[in-house]
Amino acid sequence: MPAKPNPRNHRNNPYVLDDMFVRVHRTAAGVAWRFRTELMTLTTVGAGYAALACLVSLILAAVVVGGLVLVVAALPWTRWFLIRRAWCVLSRHRIQKVCFETRMHTRSGRLPLVLRIHPTQVGERAILWCRAGICFEDFEAHTGELAAACYAREARVERSKRWAQIVMVHIVRHDTLAARTVVAPDLAPAAVLQASDTTTIPAA
């Protein structure tokens, strides 16, 4: 009598593609995709240094590359551009870390996909694609964890008006409308005393 097919057999597994994506995510290719920005930056700098070293000496090439880095860091607009992009890269990794630690992933371990992250006037804005099993309410319940992981003041989430699987995460690092000068608590009594000394008593 032929044996009955085992429903747990890998041939009958409905999550074959999910298992494949999880295995790829943990391989060198998956790590390279997650750190693609850092790898592209290192590759570009390394290729430029190697090409320059072929034309001149290694020491002179190092001096030229170091001088370019100092010039880029000295200019305000380029320095601000690099700092904002660095925060975007850091926030992308931290959002993925929060999703893993708070179990905002599928049962096969697939994390939400960060489609795009770009700087804003107050911080960063990330657009995420929620996979099956993840929804907007999951992110709404973990705004505190998102803010703490991204080293930000607060985190806000917004649902797409057209697609339910699209979630926007706003990382707020500074408030442009906040007061720039804050009176310290130890100066408050002196200010009140000075105000009381300058008050005039109206004549009867």
Helix axes 36-55 and 58-74, enclosed angle (nearest 10): 130
0.85 exceeded by the pTM? no
Same structural domain, 105 and 159: yes
Number of domains present in the structure of the chain: 2
156 inside domain: yes
Instruction: Give me the mean pLDDT over the 52-61 stretch.
Output: 82
Same domain assignment for residues 105 and 163:
yes
Of the candidates 171, 153, 162, the residue with the CA atom closest to the CA atom of residue 114: 171
Give a yes or no: residue 198 inside a domain.
no
Contacts (Cβ under 8 Å, ≥6 apart) of 147: 153, 154, 155, 171, 172
H/E stretch holding 55 reads: helix 36-55
Q: Is the pLDDT of residue 107 over 70?
A: yes
96 and 162 part of one domain: yes
- The verdict on 68 and 147 lying in the same domain is no
Residues 143 and 104 in one domain: yes
The position carrying tokens 């002179």 is 60
The predicted structure's pLDDT at residue 7:
45
**Are both 102 and 25 inside the same structural domain?**
no
Q: Is residue 17 part of a domain?
A: yes
71: pLDDT strictly greater than 50: yes
The domain in which residue 146 lies consists of 87-177
**Which of 50-54, 119-123, 161-165 has the least mean pLDDT?**
50-54
Q: Where is the domain boundary, 74, 97, 123? A: 74
CA–CA distance, 89 with 35 (Å, rounded to integer): 9
Identify whether 28 is part of a domain: yes
Q: For residue 64, what pLDDT is reported?
A: 84
* 111 & 166 share domain: yes
Q: Mark whether 52 and 109 lie in a shared domain.
A: no
Residues 94, 153, single domain; the answer is yes
Q: Which stretch of DSSP H or E encloses residue 192?
A: helix 188-197
Does any domain span residue 196? no
Mean pLDDT of 88-94: 93
Mean pLDDT, residues 172-180: 72
Residues 140 and 172 in one domain: yes
| Angle made by CA atoms 76, 38, 111, in degrees to the nearest 5 | 120
